[in-house]
């Protein structure tokens, strides 16, 4: 009996993961309102009852989708950057990973959180609140990363302002690439802008990370 129960739990977890992977992809293109238990059941060839059992309501499905997107985002952007030492190198790599995440369409609709935040920014309720929490978490992480570079003596700047500007570069590149069918030149422009902004804030004698890897276009 224990083996059979464990097997059902494993299959249930695999189904939930499959549903959420499909959900984040759909929501990145059609928005969280584009999600429905019926649509997911049809696309994954599952029963509606089976999908409903994992979530119970459309709102819970939407919240679970945002949580799943957050995990994917962290794996693609945050974890690789935080695998290197704190400082300007980490900040530059965080920017590189963000642009790479957008450019190679980890989510088919570009940045999941850009799409969802525009969709729910003026609304109220649990989904809005969770998206706002994720946004605060991300901005604070950017500010922290800038602050670490300042503490290392590599930058002299206002961490709150620089974090805001970097995030604006990311969002601008993501939106422009969507409107221009993924034009790679947009990401080249974004990298140049970010590099120039960081170079302007770098202290004299600081080793610039993009130069240590052969330069960046």
| pLDDT tens string 150-207 | 999 999 999 999 999 999 999 999 999 999 998 999 999 999 999 999 999 999 999 9
pLDDT band at residue 15 using 50, 70 and 90 as cut-offs? confident
Kindly indicate the confidence band of residue 147, based on its pLDDT and cuts at 50, 70 and 90: very high
pLDDT of residue 213: 56
Whether 61 and 22 have beta carbons less than 8 Å apart is answered as no
Q: Which residues contact 100 (CB under 8 A, 6 or more apart)?
A: 76
**74 falls within a domain:** yes
Q: What's the pLDDT score for residue 52?
A: 79
- Judge whether 117 lies within some domain: yes
At which residue do the structure tokens 């300042």 appear? 150
Q: Is residue 212 part of a domain?
A: no
pLDDT at position 10 over 90:
no
Residue 11 has pLDDT above 70, yes or no: no
The answer as to whether 217 is a domain residue is no
- The tens digit of pLDDT for each residue in 32-48 reads 999 988 888 888 888 88
User: Is position 94 within any domain?
Assistant: yes
Q: For residue 102, give the nearest of 77, 81, 138, 120 by alpha carbon.
A: 77
Q: Which domain holds residue 111?
A: 2-204
CATH number of the domain where residue 35 is located: 1.10.357.10
By percentage, how much of the chain surpasses pLDDT 90?
Answer: 76
Mean pLDDT of the 49-74 span: 91
Residue 213 lies in a domain: no
Q: How many domains does the chain have?
A: 1
pTM equals: 0.88
Task: For residue 103, tell me if it sits in a domain.
Answer: yes
- Mean pLDDT score of the chain: 91
Neighbours of 145 (CB within 10 A): 26
- Decide if 164 is inside a domain: yes
Gap between the Cα atoms of 17 and 64, Å rounded: 10
Cα–Cα distance, 54 to 7 (Å, whole number)? 16
């Amino acid at each position: 009996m224990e083996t059979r129960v464990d097997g059902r739990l494993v299959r249930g977890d695999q189904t939930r993961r499959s549903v959420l992977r499909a959900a984040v992809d759909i929501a990145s293109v059609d928005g969280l309102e584009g999600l429905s238990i019926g649509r997911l059941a049809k696309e994954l060839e599952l029963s509606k009852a089976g999908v409903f059992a994992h979530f119970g309501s459309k709102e819970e499905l939407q919240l679970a989708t945002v949580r799943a997107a957050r995990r994917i985002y962290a794996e693609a952007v945050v974890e690789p950057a935080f695998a290197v030492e704190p400082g300007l190198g980490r900040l530059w790599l965080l920017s590189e990973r963000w642009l790479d995440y957008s450019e190679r369409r980890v989510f088919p609709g570009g940045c999941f959180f850009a799409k969802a935040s525009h969709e729910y920014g003026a609304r109220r309720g649990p989904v809005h609140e969770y998206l706002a929490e994720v946004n605060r978490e991300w901005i604070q992480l950017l500010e922290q990363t800038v602050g670490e570079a300042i503490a290392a003596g590599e930058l002299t700047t206002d961490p709150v302002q620089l974090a805001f500007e970097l995030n604006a570069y990311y969002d601008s590149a993501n939106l422009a690439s969507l409107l221009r069918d993924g034009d790679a030149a947009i990401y080249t422009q974004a990298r140049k802008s970010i590099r120039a902004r960081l170079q302007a804030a770098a202290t004299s004698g600081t080793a610039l990370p993009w130069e240590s890897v052969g330069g960046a276009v």
